[in-house]
Amino acid sequence: MRLDINLATHPYEDAREFWARWGLGVGLLGVLTLVLITLAVHGWVKAGRDRQSIRHLQQQIEEKDRERAQAQAFLELEINRSTRDQSQFLNGLIQRKAFSWTRVFEDLERVMPTSLHVVSLKPELSDQNQLELEMKVAGDNRAAAIELVHRMEGSTHFQGAQLTQESLGDNGVGVAAVIEAVYVPDAVNRSGK
Of 53, 155, 45, nearest in space to 109 by CA: 155
Q: How do beta strands 131-139 and 175-183 pair?
A: antiparallel
pLDDT of residue 192: 41
Of the candidates 117, 92, 96, the one whose C-alpha atom is nearest the C-alpha of residue 183 is: 96
- Rounded distance between C-alpha atoms, residue 132 and residue 164, angstroms: 13
DSSP string, the chain: ------TTTS----HHHHHHHHHHHHHHHHHHHHHHHHHHHHHHHHHHHHHHHHHHHHHHHHHHHHHHHHHHHHHHSGGGHHHHHHHHHHHHHHHHHH--HHHHHHHHHHH--TTEEEEEEEEEE-TTS-EEEEEEEEES-HHHHHHHHHHHHHSSSEEEEEEEEEEE-TTSSSEEEEEEEEE---SS-GGG-
Could you state, in chain order, the average pLDDT of each consecutive group of 10 residues for the chain (193 residues)?
61 71 86 96 94 95 94 84 83 73 83 85 77 85 85 86 78 79 65 41
> What's this model's pTM, rounded to 2 decimal places?
0.49
Check if CATH label 3.40.50.2300 holds for domain 100-192. no
Calpha distance 161→134 (Å, rounded): 10
Check if the beta carbon of residue 99 is closer than 8 Å to that of residue 123: yes
